[in-house]
Amino acid sequence: MESWKKDLTAPADLSKHEKGTGAQRTQRPVYVDLLPPCNNACPAGENIQAWLGLAQEGNFEGAWQKLVEENPLPAIHGRVCYHPCESSCNRAFIDSSVSIHAIERFLGDKALEEGWKIKYDAKPTGKRILIIGAGPSGLSASYHLRRMGHEVEVFEAGPVPGGMMHFGIPAYRLPRNILEAEAKRIEDIGVKFHYNRKVVDVAEEKEKGRFDAVFLAIGAHIGKKVDIPARDAGQIFDAVSFLRDVDKGDRPKLGRRVAIYGGGNTAMDAARTAKRLGVDEAMIIYRRDREHMPAHEFEADEALEEGVKIHWLRTIKEIDQSTFTVEVMRVENGKPVPTGEFETVEADSLILALGQDTETDFLRKVAGIQLKEDGTVIVGPDMMTGAAGIFAGGDMVPSERTVTIAVGHGKKAARFIDGYLQQKPYVKASKHPLVGFERLHMWFNTEAPQQLQPAKPADQRTNSFGEIVGGLHDEEARYEAQRCLSCGNCFECDGCYGSCPEDAVIKLGPGKRYRYDLTLCTGCAVCYEQCPCHAIEMIPEPPQNA
């Protein structure tokens, strides 16, 4: 690696270089590729900037094909991902981040509407892989392994694909037809699904099915319990079972008022679902304040808009029929501390939303597999458990539990499984240096307001489980994609070409970028200063005797 590449993480200091030095040039420009922060932040490892670039051109199918190289579920992710890419977007320093999730949803929906087919070419390897679980991690792993040419079979304990996406995310956030259609696409490329097939002996299934490797992708379907003294408790549900029952069409009798205990996204979903079932009052009881809640900000905002009440800094101490004794808390160093003050609230039923566990006890008899105290499976950097050929990911390994992280685990595991089967260990490619906003050269006015997705009015949302957020249209999606700054990578804006006083920048044609004629270049750095995305770096001129 050339010496100039060793430190691209700091802005270039042009004060250390002479400008316009003519024959005594002390620096020269070079074209570079840096890592945009959106790509860096994506848990699914999408090349966001690349598919945004294709969407900017109106090449929506090409953008979708690029997107599904990394993530087979764009219509799902565009709805349920919490888009950390947007939290990292450099454009937020100008006006507002690019609405990446809205464009991803648009592409996913358009692919389903137009019937686009995945393009891939892989020779059959003759290897067979068993995936246990058809949730986001299992779907992702099966998809990528199939694209590598392997035979893949998925054993799912439930009757439908999706796992916790199906039974844990309400339909108003993720319509079931969208989920089923994107899962069907994975089946269409040759992955075999077996539903209502619960695995109790992994080693036996592996041997009986002549599988060369196994990927464990079991979701967190078990609601955590809590010991609350109850003299005569009323109806108590756990949030996971409650959401699952509602999805199946069963409507638990909640009464007029329901309390939800917890402060995560599942608590918000349970409360909002209760409102859609017709309860007069749904109240969340949570022991921390809003600043320290695990739920995402917009989830709490939407819940409040829909009439859900939230009792911050409260913890349930005792239940007597429909009367709840709660203690007032205060936060010290981010942790809730009891105050000794008590209140009472009335509720006909209680939904516990205190987190979920994964059913992994059946793995204890598999030689080599180790579990942590919370039941999660210990895996190595290659996603393999202590048992050779058995890998794991998603909710059942120690990590944050989101759909996008699970999908990323599935892709990562697929690459390591492929390397294991081919006896060519997968080695992750090194990343380019990250480019922050301070390295961009925004010398022109780039203000352009974000294109907002249409949303159903709050007073109309709780009448049904219909989707509450709409998608973008073609022109809106293209406009939003064009707000991307192409951080760190040349998009052929001709800034360098037009600004060079010596005509030293040579255009190579569409898609081929530029090159420098160093017999003309004086090292003046005007091209560097005119490049808005920092795709040009100034490096010291090599010694003449080098």
**CATH code of the domain covering residue 207:** 3.50.50.60
Residue 52 included in any domain: no
Which of 498, 503, 496, 506 is CA-nearest to residue 529? Answer: 496
pLDDT at 16: 42
pLDDT at 9: 40
- Residue 489 CA: distances (Å) to CA of 13, 32, 313: 20, 7, 47
Q: How far is Cα 431 from Cα 326, in angstroms, rounded to an integer?
A: 50
User: For the chain, what is the domain count?
Assistant: 3
Last residue of a domain, one of 356, 380, 411: 356
Question: 313 and 381 in one domain?
Answer: no
Residue 253 included in any domain: yes
Question: 333 and 352 in one domain?
Answer: yes
pLDDT at 116: 97
DSSP string, 364-423: TTSTT--B-TTSPBP--TTSB-SSTTEEE-GGGSSS---HHHHHHHHHHHHHHHHHHHHT
Q: How far is Cα 262 from Cα 52, in angstroms, rounded to an integer?
A: 38
470 contacts: CB under 8 Å, gap ≥ 6: 453, 454, 455, 456
Q: Which SS3 state, helix, strand or coil, does residue 315 take?
A: strand
pLDDT at 545: 57
Last residue of a domain, one of 422, 440, 462: 422
pLDDT at 232: 61
Question: 145 and 208 in one domain?
Answer: yes
| 437-452 confidence digits (pLDDT tens) | 999 998 877 789 999 9
∠108-110-116 over CA atoms, to 5°? 85
Can you give the pLDDT of all 546 residues of the chain as single tens digits?
A: 343 333 444 444 444 444 444 457 899 999 999 999 999 999 999 999 999 999 999 999 999 999 999 999 999 999 999 999 999 999 999 999 999 999 999 999 999 999 999 988 889 999 999 999 999 999 999 999 999 999 999 999 999 999 999 999 999 999 999 999 999 999 999 999 999 999 999 999 999 999 999 999 999 888 888 878 775 666 899 999 999 999 999 989 999 999 999 999 999 999 999 999 999 999 999 999 999 999 999 999 999 999 999 999 999 999 988 899 999 999 998 889 999 999 999 999 999 999 888 889 999 999 999 999 989 999 999 999 999 999 999 999 999 899 999 999 999 999 999 999 999 999 999 999 999 999 999 887 778 999 999 999 999 999 999 999 999 999 999 999 999 999 999 999 999 999 999 999 999 999 999 999 999 999 999 999 999 999 999 999 887 755
CB–CB of 195/160 below 8 Å?
yes
Residue 68 included in any domain: no
Q: Which two tokens stand for residue 339?
A: 């105050």
Beta strands in 167-212 (DSSP E): 192-194
Residue 462 included in any domain: no
Residue type (1 letter), 13 = D
Residue 61 included in any domain: no
Question: 329 and 234 in one domain?
Answer: yes
pLDDT at 447: 82
Per the structure, the complete domain to which residue 279 belongs is given by 223-356
Question: 255 and 401 in one domain?
Answer: no
CB–CB of 264/294 below 8 Å?
yes
% helix, strand, coil for the chain, step of 5: 35, 20, 50
Rg over alpha carbons for the chain, rounded to the nearest Å, is 27
CB–CB of 534/435 below 8 Å?
yes
Question: 250 and 346 in one domain?
Answer: yes
Question: 231 and 216 in one domain?
Answer: no
Domain at 500, CATH number: 3.30.70.20
Residue 453 included in any domain: no
Q: Which two tokens stand for residue 231?
A: 């003299």
Question: 208 and 237 in one domain?
Answer: no
Question: 377 and 348 in one domain?
Answer: no
Question: 204 and 169 in one domain?
Answer: yes
Question: 316 and 235 in one domain?
Answer: yes
Beta partners for 343?
326
Last residue of a domain, one of 367, 396, 422: 422
Q: How far is Cα 415 from Cα 143, in angstroms, rounded to an integer?
A: 11
∠205-210-212 over CA atoms, to 5°? 100
Q: How far is Cα 171 from Cα 176, in angstroms, rounded to an integer?
A: 6
Residue 415 included in any domain: yes
Residue type (1 letter), 474 = D
- pTM here? 0.91
Between helix 176-188 and helix 136-147 the angle, nearest 10°, is 30
Between helix 265-276 and helix 297-305 the angle, nearest 10°, is 20
Q: Which SS3 state, helix, strand or coil, does residue 256 take?
A: coil
Question: 294 and 377 in one domain?
Answer: no
Residue 520 included in any domain: yes
> Token match 């997107």: residue?
67
∠523-527-531 over CA atoms, to 5°? 145
Neighbour-count burial for 31-55, b at 16+ CB within 10 Å, e otherwise: bbebbbbbbbbbbbbbbbbbbbbbb
